């Protein structure tokens, strides 16, 4: 049986379908990061990606999800991929954050492919 996949040449991918995680090391004092995501739809629909950061000054391994404070209801910022495409996300870590974590969730299908790479500014 096939499985949805996430690959990266600049990070480490872990987990198993339907939940895969790409983790990237970032350096202190990094001003901006760019996450490049290439999504091939396959036979599935609408996988999601959430972004988190690790700050060892706060906790050694907790992943703090990127969130918006636009309403009273807090939720992680989520990107939903609805069609094959190539995407670029600009992220601004705090000066002490040491890891960027991109979590992918697949709800259907088994032939979707995501290639995810991070490049510092």
Q: Indicate the class that CATH gives domain 5-120.
A: mainly beta
Question: What is the tens place of the pLDDT at every residue in 13-60?
Answer: 999 999 999 999 998 667 889 999 999 999 998 999 999 999 999 999
List the one residue out of 121, 76, 83 whose CA is nearest residue 102.
76
Sign for the pseudo-dihedral over CA of 85, 83, 22, 55 = positive
Is-contact 89 32, C-beta < 8 A?
A: no
Question: What is the tens place of the pLDDT at every residue in 89-113?
Answer: 999 998 889 999 999 999 999 999 9
Per the rule left: phi > 0, alpha: psi between -120 and 50, beta: everything else, 46 is left
């Amino acid at each position: 049986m096939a499985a949805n996949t996430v690959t990266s040449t600049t990070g480490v991918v872990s987990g198993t379908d339907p939940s895969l995680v790409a983790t990237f090391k970032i350096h202190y004092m990094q001003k901006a990061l760019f996450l490049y995501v290439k999504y091939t739809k396959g036979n599935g629909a609408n996988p999601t990606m959430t972004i988190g950061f690790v700050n060892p000054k706060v906790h050694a391994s907790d992943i703090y999800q990127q969130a918006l404070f636009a309403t009273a209801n807090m939720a992680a910022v989520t990107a939903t991929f609805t069609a094959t495409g190539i995407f670029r996300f600009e992220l601004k870590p705090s000066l002490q954050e040491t890891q960027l974590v991109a979590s992918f969730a697949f709800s259907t299908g088994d032939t979707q492919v995501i290639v995810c790479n991070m490049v510092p500014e």
